[in-house]
Every structure is written in C-alpha cells, then in structure tokens.
Structure 1
Amino acid sequence: MTQPPDQPPQGGFGAPQNPPPGGFGAPQDPRQATPPPPPAQPPAPPQPGYGYPQQQPGPYAQPGPYSQPGPYGRQPGPYAQPQPGHGYPQQPPQFPGAPTPPPGGGSRNPFKGKPALVVGAAVAALLVIGGTVYAVSGGGDKKPTAGKSHDATPSADTSTPVNPGDGSGDGGEDPENLNDGRKAGEAKVLWYKQAPDAPGSGADAPSMWITGKAAVKAAYKQVFAYNVGNGNPTWAPISFPQKICAVTPQKTADDKVVVAYMSGVSDNAKCNQLQEIDLGTGKKGWSAQIAEGALFDSTLNISLSLTGKTVVVGRSQSGTGYDVGTGKKLWDKQEYTGACFPTAFAGGAKLISVASCSAGSSNEHDEVQELDPATGKARWTKKIPKGWTVARAYSVDPVVLYLTNEDKKKWNVSTLKNDGSLRSQVDVNESFAPECGWAVLSRDLQGCTGAVADANTLYLPTEAKSGPNEVVAISLDTGKEKWRVKSPAAQSMLPLKTDGTNLIAYVEPSYDGGGQVVSIATGAGHATSKLLQNPSGAAKIESGFYSKVIDYVDGRFYISTTRLTGGTRTKEKLMLAYGK
C-alpha cells in the first residue's frame, strides 16, 4: 500500500479481528499443557492484543483518560502509568466459566497463540497475550480484510553424560539420560542446567548472551556462565542482594552487559541499581544508582537497551544514556515540544525512541525518533497518525514497526527509510504469529522471537492452523509477499536470524520428537536444509520451555527459560544446549 508518510492507508491500518474458533480458551491438546506463572493481581477484563483477540464491545470497554487501552496502549502524558507489553508468558485467559489449568507439571502451554489476559492495577500490572497477528490485504480502493483463523536408525550413544548442573554449575550425574538411545543423525544434548530456587511468586530469568566461550544467563538474583561445549562453569556465579529486574538484551563488541536489580523488597522498592558485567571474566565493572525522574516518571520498573558505547535506561516517561565503559552519564531524554514523553527505547545497530504526545487532547499521537547514542539528540522524527500506537520494533536497522489501533481493532506493520519517512506497509492477507515476550509496567519494544528483517526483507511466521505453518518473506520496498516456505515438520517454524545469505529458523519440538534448526536459502529456490536435529530423548524437556529465549551460534543451539514459576517441588529447567 502506498500512502502519504503521515497518513493511514485507505480503510485504516490493519483489519478487524474476530475471536478464535471455539471461543476464547477453547480446549487444547492436554499433552501440551504447561502451568502459567501465578498472576500478580486478580485478572481484569480482556484487552485488545496483537491482532487477536480484540476488545469486545459493552461492559469491558474502559473509555476515558485512565483506560487500559490494550497491550500496546498509549502512555497518556505525565499522569500515565506505562502499559503492559506484548504477551508473555502465553497464559490462558481467565474468563468467567473458563477452566483454569491446575498447578504443577506439563510440558507445554496449551494456549500458545491464544487470547490475552490483563492482570493488574494502575501501578502493578502484567499483560499476558498470545502471538497471533492478522494481516491486511489489498491495496488502492480495496478495503483490507482479515486472514481467516484457519533415515535415522537406533544406535548406542557413548558420548560423555550430560551435565545437568543445579543452576550453579556444579554438574553431576545425568538423571534424565537425555542422550540415551540417541538416533543416527540426531545432535547431542551437550549440557542441561537446572534453575536456582525461586520464590513462590516466581522470578524473572531474562535474556541470554552467547560469547565465544560462554553461555551466560540471568536468573532471579544471579548471573551464571557455562562453557559452550561442556557446560562447566566459566566463572563463579554473580549474586545480587535483590532480584534482577532488567538487563540489556544486547552486549557490547567486547562482551559487556548491564544488569539492573531492585533497591529492596518493600512495595516502594525501585528498579534503580545498575551493574556492568564483563561476560568474559565474570568481573563486575562500574555500578550506579538511577536517579528518579520528575513527578510520575518512576523507576519502579525500567528498560535497558544498548547501542554502540551507550546504555539507555528507560523510565516510564524519560530516558538516560550512560557510557557503557565508564558508567558516566551522557544525556537525558525528557519531555520535548508538543508534550511528548519518551516511554520506550529499542537498541542494537540503531537507537530508537517512542514517545506519547499531547495525551488527552485532539492531537494525541505517538512519535518515533532515531537518537544519536552519543548525545541523545534526534536524527529524525516520525509522527504516527492519531489513534495508532507503536507496539513493537521488529527491527531497528532497518526500522520495522508493529502498530495497533485499539478503536479500529486493526494492526499495521510499517517500514521506515533512513530519514524516518515511510518506506512500505505490509500488504499480505495472512495470520502471522511471532512469539513475543512480556513487559511489566513498560512498553517492551524488542520482546519478539520470530520476526526477523534484513536490509530488504521481513520474515514472519504464519499461525499454524491444521498442519505445518509457513515463513513468509515480505519485501520492505513494497510490503508485498516475495515467497513462502512451509515448515519441514508438523510443528511451527520460527525465524531466528539471517547470516547474510540464508535465513536460520527453529522448528519446535513435538511431544516425542526433538526440535530442529534449519537453514532457508533466501535466493532462488528457497531450499531448506537441516542444521541440527535435536534428540527425541530430550523432547519433553525441550518442549517444556513455555517462555523461552533461543539462539543458534557456531553450530550450537541454546534454549533457556525467561520465567521461573517458583514454589515447585522439583528443580525447574534453566538452560539446554545442543550440538554435534
């Protein structure tokens, strides 16, 4: 669709959505069941999500300046409380009369890609939402429409037993026998780690960083590092006095990250303690305490992002840049002309800021800026049409944004040029389903797995209906479909990254079969080749990561949880590594 840069397409961004077949919370395969973490607050009425489900008319609508407008809801000016982010963990809705999964066991979440649940009050809220997207179709005068919801042989394995660990890297026997009966052609489980104990209310285990030597993982109050080949500890765990509340998803070129942890355990505790860590040595670098912002600009919850030599701390209505090497404060990004309050940041190759502007007025809108990471000054500003909210950044280089319109119950994916002007909008009649993370009191722009972009193409997974899903390649110049490839198995396939020539994707495990890592040629033919076939002996554990972060680096595949449910009688899973 070709539109003026600051105008929505004819008929509006996106298409109206409908509830899934069978209604919200329809029964699922019991083999896929995984208990969700306990909600922090009593459930609230459902809010509109990533295309589906959408807000229902009637008593659930909450008009007015203090409404919860949806998972990517606008931050209404200085009196706003930040809105929750895009769905995680993918927890079943708690509608009246809907069954609630019992606590305990299970291998996978039965509600993956299903309706959302908003839990919370003005200052403490969690949003849980599935990952289904309904794409627009057509162009010109045609109105958009919604996509319908619709040679191994046994061999003995004589490899070294898997090191399960206990979260501290102590190792031990292999009680799971994950490589027992490994078939020809299957990769090995290189090592498996169990999580540290967590409180009954649960705990975060955010991100995962892979270096040339170590796989590093944050969990609750600690950061662990394991040798990529054998899982032995590369350095002693780093412990913090309080729980970890934010981390930089990115690392620097010399393997530095920044971790934030809470100031205490009271209800008034802030996420304001920063600590730099060298992933190569496990040594702590500089530390700092984040200053509070102005009225209503809180550090109760923050976001961290890293671009070049700058780490950005995002509060509810402002941001601060620090030199990642020294901890020196570089700049503040605060309210600017037009009553615009920066509410979210995305890092990586470029630094992107999203602001809520003129809240409560007839000119209420979002704005996107690219910032100079050294100075915080805007290189360009893109005004988003009224009624549209920037929900996700699928990519920062090029800038690919996912937007939602609560009132019209539609969505849109827009790509911007290097000067911030509109390059294209996705124009594909399809239901897409990247897996997206959660946010607590923040707009998590970069929490999606399965949405990948290179210089000219966006790759998105379709929703699985009755068989394998597909990965669709979409031109960033036109928004049109270029090609699509079906998953090589009955399970869904998620794009992970590009390597310059090929698209790397993860095929999820079945109940009794391991997952796969595959390479898809982006040139002519789009042939799919298998890089790793994970062993069936570990399928139950692999499929049990109901909220996860995954990566494929140097021929090894890593999967780790992002949430500890806590209070279980058995050790929880933390991390699993595969290789040949």
Structure 2
Amino acid sequence: MSFGPPPSPYTQSALTADTERRRRRTKLFGAVAAVLVVVLCAGGWLLMYATGDGTPADAKPSAAPQAPDEIRETVEKIPSPPEGELVIDYSEEKFKDDETRYAPGTWATDKIFAKGIKNTLTGFKFGQDDSAWTLELDGHICATTRHVTADGRTAVVVQPGKRKGTKDAGICDEVVFVDLDTGKKLWTATMPDAKTAYVTNTNLTMTRGTVAVAWGNGSVAYDMSDGKQLWKSTSVSTCEDTGFAGGRSLLVLLRCGEESTHAYRVQKLDPRTGKPRWTYNLKEGLSGVFLPSSDPPVLAVGAGDYGVTDLITLDDQGRYSATISMKGGRFDPMCGSSFDGSDYFGMMENCYAMVVGQHALFVASKADGDVDQAENWITAFDVKTGKALRKFDGRPLQPLWPVKMSGDDLLVYRPSSDNVGPAAIVSIDPTTGKQTPFLFFNLPDDSTRMETPEWSDILVEHGRAFFSPRQLTPSAKYPDDPVPAAVGIGSVH
C-alpha cells in the first residue's frame, strides 16, 4: 500500500507560522543567579538533598558497564551541588519570512550536546558558545531515533537531493550513522526499494548492533559496525511493516488487511535475521498503535477514538499481561505526532508524557482545571498486573513530566511557577515515593515553549538537563530576533 507523496514539510506550503497554544498562565523565567541558593534554603529544598551525614542521597549502586553497541541506559548520579547553570544556550538566526525550521533529533553524551535542524547535525561542547562540529547531510532529515549506543553513536534517515536522471525527489532512503562526540559520519546506506518512504511514514530505531528502518511498504536492517545490510522485507504482502521499537529488543508493528478492515500484529524479531520470535495479534478496529517500549513490551493503542485509549503490556514471550485504561480524559501519554499535528520524522516510539521501566510504567495526567490544586500528577502502574501503584502530585501551576528512568528511579521535570522559584529535575524512588532534588535552575526568559514535552525534547544525560523545541519559528512581533533552539543546564562547579 502506498501512502502517496505527502506534502513535504520542506516546501513553502507547509512552512506555516507557529500557533502559540493559549495557556492558563503567563510564565517569567529569571536567569540563574546566586540568590537561587537563598530561595532554595528558604523553601527547605536543600534539606531534601542531603542525608543525615550531609552527603548526597545517592547510595544506589551503579549499573554494570555496557558493551559499546548496546543501547545506552545511563544510571544518573545526582549532581553536587544541585544548583544549575547554563551550559548550552543556542539560538537559530536569519529566518526568512514565515519560515519554520523543523528541528528533529536531540541527543547528548558526556562530552557533547547534538541537535538536528533541517539538513544539518550540530554538536556543542558544554560551556562554549561556538559549535564543536557541524555535519551537513545530503538532504533534510526525515526520521530520527532517541536511542544512542553506549559509546555515543546514533542514526538518522535523510531525504537526499534529487538524483540525476531519476524521479526520486522527496524519497527518504538514505541512512546515516554518526558519532555524536566527533560529528564523524561513520557510514551511509541506501534503503532498497524505498520508493514510498516519505517523511510522514518512515520510522527508525536501533537495538544492540542493529539499525532498523520501516516505511510501510518495506523494512531493512543494517549492521552498526559497517552499514552492511542484514535483512530486508520489501516483498508484496498482506501485512505492512509500519514501524519498529528498539532498545533492549526489537519489535515490529504489522498492519494487515485492507484499509477498511485492517488489523495489527506485533512481533518480536531477531535483530540479526529479522525472523519473528513471537507474534501478538491485536483486535480489529483500532485507529492506531504505538510501541513506547520493546522490553518490557508495551503497546499504546487507540480503540476508535482519537488518541491513546489503552496501554497493553505483554510478558517476555509476547503473552498478554494487562490493560491499563487511558479513557475518561484523565491521562494523556502524548503518543504520536508532535509537529503541529503532522506525522513527521518517525513517531512509533514517541510517547512524550510516558516513561516505561522494567517493573512499572509512568504516565502523566492531563492538567487539572483548578488553580488551587496540583497542576497534574504522574501515576505508576505495575507492568505485569496493570494496577495503579502510586501517585506523584505536581504543584499548583507546576506540572510534573516524566523524563527517563535512571535505574529503578524515575526522573521528572517540574517547571517554575513564577520568576522567583526555580524549575527542577527531581529523582523519585517509585517504591517509597521519596523525592530527591537532582537539579535546580531557571530557564532563560525566551524559552517558554521548552517547558512542555508536547513541544520540546526534554533530556537528562550525565547529570545535565536539556530542553530543545522540535520546530523553530520566529516571533511575529520580533521576526528578526534569534529563535531559541536549545538550552542545557549543568551543575554549578
């Protein structure tokens, strides 16, 4: 089945002005200043940070070292001190009239922050204004993955310029594997028979030693070490490879049957051969399926309504474990499109308000309408039983957003409510509910859109927090001003 050539997000017709969502409150962000320490002490924050002997509350053992080609799972150490300062402050300049620059892909290592914008990847060292490296790609970025190897490599899919003598303009069929620390292009590969791979339907992921891409009419996997093709699936079939989920394992979502009667299947694949190890059949009539986690296997499904209505968990053999209802409007895992409602740059694994751990998954609620109550909350659900385990409340005017797992702990982001109190990354022990401050900081006053995962990538890596919008549009009032593209926070030393 062909999706047909979509309207490219890189043409003038798709470069519409950004519509700023109406918010219940106006926020002001102050610069990081010495007065922050006084504010924290007055609020009792630092008392939460220290244990009885004055040492950081970070006694949990570190994870065993990972092999270089494993997908990175960083167990964070709580920074000392937790007060933060800007280490990345990057803005894009010289926008044309009504221009939107798409900015898919945000990564960090212990040495570099890297960002994708249009047809370029750029790396920045912490605390330096100038870029450390810039990699010009053969065309615009079509798909990215959040996954990074333990030694700091990742992949993107590119829409190369029109090849001379062909009609392949607009096809997203080039895979590029990159070292994030150096900006070096390690290898490139051309996806076979990818005539229907577009920016709207191409999904990219990685698992140990393997890079995998699916585009509906086909899929292909490559060896990380040299870019050699491991296997492909491009033959005519009643089922289409819609997308993959990577990480510890490799899952594929298959869409089978005609448009009016299609059904979905999820398979766990051998990453080196593409052969299925198990298959789970979903019921018919679903409007959409996402794969936020491959291990444990978690499926986010829409049952007739717009958006995700249920989360389904499976065991390691692909057998049904539990269903967690998202109905009633209480929860919103924010799965899928995040570019003004467009399905660009790969969306199979992207559930921006949800994090999956080995034993529990964590989903943010929608905002509460009462300004005197918690803005929202995060609920932990048992992966095996689906039962609610614990609830973590935000504060009035301060929502909580799940960011990542750090071992068995959950890291969350809590924005500031005004121009005095700080924003924070907080570490939560799901077993006890204990909350330990990770970083305190204030974002620059022109970074308002970076505070929500609906619009911005929010990362925590190697003790630093990063905020970067997925698309950039200049202010209508000040069109010549630089547009904030990334902010990074590290511990004050």
Query: TM bucket by the smaller chain?
Result: 0.7 to 0.9
Over 6 Å off, 4+ runs: 407-410
CA spacing shift, 1:209–1:110, aligned 2, 3 Å: same
Query: Could you tell me which of 174, 182, 185 is aligned with 1:273?
Result: 174
Give matches, 1:68-87, under 5 Å. 78-80=1-3
Q: CA contact under 8 A between 2:119 and 2:136: conserved in structure 1? A: yes
Deviation at 1:558, TM superposition (A): 0.9
Distance 1:521 1:409 in 2: 29
Distance 2:219 2:354 in 1: 26
Equivalent residue, structure 2, for 1:240? 137
CA spacing shift, 1:454–1:408, aligned 2, 3 Å: closer
Distance 1:202 1:450 in 2: 25
Amino acid of the residue matched to residue 186 of structure 2? G
Distance 1:187 1:408 in 2: 39
Query: Could you tell me which of 81, 84, 105 is aligned with 1:207?
Result: 105
Q: Could you say what secondary structure the match of 1:183 adopts? A: helix
Q: Which runs of 5+ in 2 are unaligned?
A: 8-15, 41-82
Query: Could you tell me which of 205, 217, 228 is aligned with 1:328?
Result: 228
Query: Could you tell me which of 378, 383, 394 is aligned with 2:281?
Result: 383
Deviation at 1:455, TM superposition (A): 1.8
Amino acid of the residue matched to residue 173 of structure 2? N
CA spacing shift, 1:390–1:453, aligned 2, 3 Å: same
TM-score (norm 1): 0.65
Equivalent residue, structure 1, for 2:312? 414
Q: Determine which structure has the larger strand proportion and give its number.
A: 2
CA spacing shift, 1:501–1:342, aligned 2, 3 Å: closer
CA spacing shift, 1:336–1:381, aligned 2, 3 Å: farther
Distance 1:250 1:409 in 2: 24
CA spacing shift, 1:269–1:529, aligned 2, 3 Å: same
Query: Could you tell me which of 312, 333, 345 is aligned with 2:212?
Result: 312
Deviation at 1:379, TM superposition (A): 1.0
Distance 2:247 2:307 in 1: 30
Deviation at 1:551, TM superposition (A): 1.3
Distance 1:212 1:441 in 2: 29
Equivalent residue, structure 2, for 1:555? 463
Q: Which runs of 5+ in 1 are unaligned?
A: 1-77, 85-101, 113-175
Equivalent residue, structure 2, for 1:353? 252
1:460 aligns with 2:360: no
Q: CA contact under 8 A between 1:509 and 1:515: conserved in structure 2? A: yes
CA spacing shift, 1:510–1:540, aligned 2, 3 Å: farther
Amino acid of the residue matched to residue 289 of structure 2? A
Bigger mean CA offset, 247-256 vs 435-444 = 435-444
Q: Could you say what secondary structure the match of 1:291 adopts? A: coil
Amino acid of the residue matched to residue 133 of structure 2? A
TM-score (norm 2): 0.75
Equivalent residue, structure 1, for 2:480? 569
Deviation at 1:217, TM superposition (A): 1.1
Q: CA contact under 8 A between 1:489 and 1:507: conserved in structure 2? A: no
Equivalent residue, structure 2, for 1:449? 352
Deviation at 1:177, TM superposition (A): 8.4
Equivalent residue, structure 2, for 1:292? 193
Distance 1:472 1:269 in 2: 42
Distance 2:392 2:6 in 1: 35
Deviation at 1:563, TM superposition (A): 1.0
RMSD, matched Cα = 3.2
Equivalent residue, structure 2, for 1:178? 31
Amino acid of the residue matched to residue 193 of structure 1? Y
CA spacing shift, 1:573–1:507, aligned 2, 3 Å: same
Q: How many residues align?
A: 415
Deviation at 1:193, TM superposition (A): 0.8
Equivalent residue, structure 1, for 2:63? none
Deviation at 1:320, TM superposition (A): 0.5
CA spacing shift, 1:344–1:396, aligned 2, 3 Å: same
CA spacing shift, 1:414–1:324, aligned 2, 3 Å: same
Q: Deviations over 1:334-366 (max 9, x none)?
A: 4586x111111122111111111111475x311
Q: Could you say what secondary structure the match of 1:483 adopts? A: strand
Amino acid of the residue matched to residue 220 of structure 1? K
Q: Could you say what secondary structure the match of 2:160 adopts? A: coil
